[in-house]
């Protein structure tokens, strides 16, 4: 049994031995059930676990549940542990809170898993996907236009479109040989990690704090039409459901940034400022009653990746209303 062997291999990385044996539970949701030192455990096997995967495990009926993966991000481990969900990865990091076996080992030496041969899941590919996930018909647009609005090279567009075909995310569907974007929910899930781990870090201008007298109330961003909010503040604008603690600002303004937005550089600041990675006016903004722009896909990506429970609740609201209709 391949699944059970993977469990045994993961436990071999620990510095002490445990007894793993096959044990079948009928109608279990999990990928594999087994006994560890005589205690029944339900395991969900993954290649990797990121914060956007965590909600999947929180309401599982199988108990005790073990999330077993080659790689689990630090934020994901922190959230799983806080929720009492057991985990183990291929680096020997483990949290087990079973009746007869309690272990917590954190080596902090795990590295993300990326397909080095993917032509899709690169920084440039992610910027193209940002456009396609909002407007799937763009996959049939002139490639020069797609390169322009995605702020990438023409070669990157050609490579990404071919990669989407090769990796099963695009198919030709009629006599005119037009493409159709498929498996969009899986593509979105992969893009969320790509956006947070590659795109945002490469476009970050810096961290800032507000110098506004009454705290952070930058409500006049609409005077600068090329800027928009993401993250928690963007979520507040869209849903009025979240009280933000962190702020993400996307802008083309760099030279006059501090004067326009009344912010000052601060490594510990609550405001993360990013350079936009799309052509102005190429994406749809959502605005509130004060006409303050934000982008639902940007907001969703940051919220779902945070692993914060309140953020995840808000992300679901945004997904159902603004993201799902395009999938």
Question: pLDDT tens across 169-186, in order?
Answer: 999 877 677 889 999 998
> What's the token pair of residue 239?
């849903």
DSSP 8-state code for residue 30: S
The pLDDT tens digits of the residues spanning 184-221 come to: 998 998 899 899 989 999 999 999 988 764 444 555 56
Number of neighbouring beta carbons within 10 Å of residue 82: 10
Give the domains, in start order, of the chain with CATH numbers: 2-105 (3.40.1350), 123-182 (1.10.10), 203-326 (3.30.460.40)
Which candidate, 41, 3, 37, places its Cα nearest to that of 17?
Answer: 37
pLDDT winner (highest mean) among 29-38, 252-261, 307-316: 29-38
Residue 279 has pLDDT above 80, yes or no: yes
Location of structure tokens 């600068």? 224
> What's the token pair of residue 59?
């309401």
Residues in the chain, how many?
A: 327
Chain-centroid distance, C-alpha 316: 13
Location of structure tokens 């009344």? 262
For strands 86-89 and 65-72, give the pairing.
Answer: parallel
Instruction: Judge if pTM exceeds 0.95.
Output: no
Number of neighbouring beta carbons within 10 Å of residue 281: 10
């Amino acid at each position: 049994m391949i699944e059970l062997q993977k469990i045994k291999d993961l436990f071999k990385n620990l510095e002490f031995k445990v007894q793993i044996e096959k044990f079948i539970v009928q109608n279990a949701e999990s990928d594999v059930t087994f006994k560890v030192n005589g205690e029944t455990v339900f395991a969900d096997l993954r290649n990797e676990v990121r914060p956007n995967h965590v909600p999947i495990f929180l309401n599982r009926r199988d108990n005790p549940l073990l999330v077993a993966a080659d790689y689990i991000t630090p934020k994901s481990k922190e959230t799983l542990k806080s929720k009492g969900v057991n985990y183990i990865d291929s680096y020997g990091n483990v949290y087990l809170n079973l009746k007869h076996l309690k272990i917590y080992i954190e080596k902090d030496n795990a590295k993300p898993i990326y397909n080095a041969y993917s032509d899709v899941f690169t920084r440039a590919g992610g910027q193209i996907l940002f456009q396609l996930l909002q407007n799937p018909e763009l996959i049939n647009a002139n490639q020069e236009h797609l390169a322009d609005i995605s702020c990438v090279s023409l070669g990157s567009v050609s490579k990404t479109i071919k990669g989407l075909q090769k990796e099963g995310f695009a198919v030709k569907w009629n006599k005119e040989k037009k493409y159709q974007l498929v498996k969009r929910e899986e593509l979105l899930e992969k893009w969320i990690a790509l956006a947070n781990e590659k795109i945002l870090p490469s476009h970050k201008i810096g961290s800032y704090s507000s110098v506004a007298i009454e705290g952070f109330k930058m409500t006049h961003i609409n005077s600068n039409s090329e800027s928009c909010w993401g993250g928690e503040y963007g979520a507040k604008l869209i849903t009025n459901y979240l009280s933000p603690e962190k702020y993400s600002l996307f802008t083309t303004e760099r030279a006059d940034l501090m004067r326009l937005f009344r912010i000052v550089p601060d490594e510990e600041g609550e405001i993360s400022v990013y350079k936009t990675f799309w052509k102005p006016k190429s994406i749809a903004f959502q605005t509130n009653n004060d006409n303050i722009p934000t982008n639902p896909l940007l907001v969703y990506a940051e919220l779902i990746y945070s692993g914060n429970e309140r953020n995840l609740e808000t992300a679901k609201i945004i997904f159902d209303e603004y993201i799902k209709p395009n999938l």
